[in-house]
Amino acid sequence: MSRPIPAALAMLAAMAVSILLPRASVAQPLSPAAAQWWADVSALADDANQGRMTGSPGYMRAADYVIGRFRKLGLPPAGTDGYLQSVPLVQQIVDQDASGATLTGTSGTQVIAVGSDMLITAGGGPRPGSVNAPLVFIGYGLHLPGQGHDDFAGIDLKGKVAVVLGGGPADISGAIKSNARYERNRGLAQRGAVGVISLTTPKQVEILWQRQKLLARQPGMYLADTALRETRVPFFTATFDPEKSQELFAGSGHSFAELVALADASKPLPHFAMAGRLKARIVARRSQLTSPNLVAKLPGSDPRLAREYVVVSSHLDHLGVGAPIKGDSIYNGAMDDASGVAAVLDIAHRLATGKRPRRSVLFALFTAEEKGLLGSRYFASHPTVPKRTIVADVNFDMPLPLWTLKSVYVPGEAESSLGADLRAAAGPMGIAVVPDPMPDRNVFIRADQYSFVHRGIPALFFKFGFAKGSPEFDIEHAWRANRYHSPSDDLAQPGIHKEDAVKLDALVTAVIERVANADGRPHWLAGSIFGKK
């Protein structure tokens, strides 16, 4: 956030520029690609679409717009019903006010303020009606015996609620830790745990607790198919205000502050039985619904390889209409992820008007990403083309074109041969490939590419690069703090670098062309944990 320049000074500066650089000072019109990209973002994130909530009329209006664009690009449908693939879902709304909880410890019973200090989350699978269980602290909650780290080892989880803290050992890669977090609830339930409370250190907080409280009132969703849920049985899941998390540790011989210091330093955490017993009553309403993924294809040029597919994806849904912030209740999701849908459409245009790649390309726009990657998970387990014909996925979810594109970070690039394709394409464009600046943020499992990775398909996830301590770091941080998952991620936000957004599309197009034209399919690198799935 820069300081305002005094008006007179700004005028002088503008005059100087106009004298020295009469042509450059005139605002350049956008290139056709950038203009179309912005037109698509604008149409999708328009207030008329009411934030594109999964299952809503606004989502369907956005879907109709995308189908119109697919038709204009001459791309044939590749869903199960034209461009559509209907995804069966269950919606769950946790009534935080009607639910309640107490913690009974060495100094008696205290009430936990549900909806304020503790939020019962609504996704992943059904919540139980009640829980009455002792608490056990299991550190980071990461089950990684292959990496010499196992927070489940030697702990009796049966009938317990596990308490975990975000983060993990520094010497284990972010992708591997992310994978373990994704599998965590399933593993805990299999070992007999009845629930989990996830804690974060104040430094790990991305969405301020004040906003998280509002978001907890939104409906959660999970797939109707029990096999595709986080847990097959009802399972309690909750988060706790970092400011209040110490309450859970009273009488345990450990303080939250001590554990925070260890986690922020990526040091080993102790495991211990906590003094408290949690009793909770959970009031939730559930209903069935469906919402479609959208799929189009560009047929490949090679008679044999055209039977194989490279998937380009992003998500069409966002958070809908919710609690108003500064008088605005529409969560437009302009960057999250209208920008990614517009990128997929831009890439479709580039590929459809260029030299046709040998393999076919699928353009997949998923529903219910914000509800836990549900549309992509459904697609990856029920693909609209034979599963073994999908050779790779490249995904866009908030690439964040908020500065000049000089570098990209691409979660997944260290795991498969796609990393070499990325570097070969980025080099000639003068774009550097940099490491994930915030590996503990878990982005690898927090976007739709992960549904493909989970099914053994190599994937990449594209983001504008930045480094810790750089001005871009501050821009990114401020954007997350102020706009991420809030109504101000809208079309009025300043600082969107439209030409740089489509420059990233050009890079990803080049990556897709390399992959789609290669004789062999992409493969996992030796040593990647994802290759064994």
Query: What's the min distance (Å) between Cβ of 198 and Zn ion?
Result: 18
**Residues 396 and 338 sit within 8 Å (Cβ to Cβ):** no
Query: What's the min distance (Å) between Cβ of 168 and Zn ion?
Result: 23
Q: Which is nearer to Zn ion, 215 or 262 (CB)?
A: 215
Helices (H), 172-289: 174-190, 209-215, 256-264
DSSP letter, residue 229:
S
Please state, in angstroms and rounded to a whole number, the distance separating the CA atoms of residues 528 and 524: 6
Query: What's the min distance (Å) between Cβ of 333 and Zn ion?
Result: 7
Spell out, one character per residue from 281 to 320, where the chain touches Zn ion: x when CB under 5 A holds, - when not.
Answer: ----------------------------------------
At 398, list the tokens. Answer: 């908030």
Q: Which is nearer to Zn ion, 163 or 319 (CB)?
A: 319
Query: What's the min distance (Å) between Cβ of 486 and Zn ion?
Result: 11
Give the residue among 130, 310, 146 at the shortest CA–CA distance from 235: 130
Q: Which is nearer to Zn ion, 272 or 484 (CB)?
A: 484
Interacting residue with Zn ion among 336, 393, 440, 505 (CB under 5 A): 336
**Residues 165 and 185 sit within 8 Å (Cβ to Cβ):** no
Residue 444 identity: F
Q: Which is nearer to Zn ion, 149 or 446 (CB)?
A: 446
Query: What's the min distance (Å) between Cβ of 395 and Zn ion?
Result: 13
Q: Which stretch binds Zn ion (CB under 5 A): 174-182, 294-302, 331-339, 509-517?
A: 331-339
At 121, list the tokens. Answer: 């989350």
Residues with Cβ within 8 Å of 262's Cβ and at least 6 positions away in sequence, in order, are 268, 269
Query: What's the min distance (Å) between Cβ of 484 and Zn ion?
Result: 7
Q: Which stretch binds Zn ion (CB under 5 A): 115-123, 165-173, 255-263, 334-342?
A: 334-342
Q: Which stretch binds Zn ion (CB under 5 A): 38-46, 332-340, 360-368, 518-526?
A: 332-340
Strands 407-409 and 432-433: what pairing? Answer: parallel
How many positions of this chain bind Zn ion (CB under 5 A)? Answer: 1
Residue 270 identity: P
At 107, list the tokens. Answer: 């100094």
Q: Which stretch binds Zn ion (CB under 5 A): 41-49, 112-120, 330-338, 351-359?
A: 330-338
Q: Which stretch binds Zn ion (CB under 5 A): 152-160, 209-217, 322-330, 336-344?
A: 336-344
Taking CB under 5 A as the rule, does residue 440 contact Zn ion? Answer: no
**Residues 248 and 163 sit within 8 Å (Cβ to Cβ):** yes
Q: Which residue is nearest to Zn ion (CB)?
A: 336
Give the residue among 173, 231, 191 at the shortest CA–CA distance from 412: 173
**Residues 462 and 401 sit within 8 Å (Cβ to Cβ):** no
Which residues of the chain form contacts with Zn ion (CB under 5 A)? Answer: 336
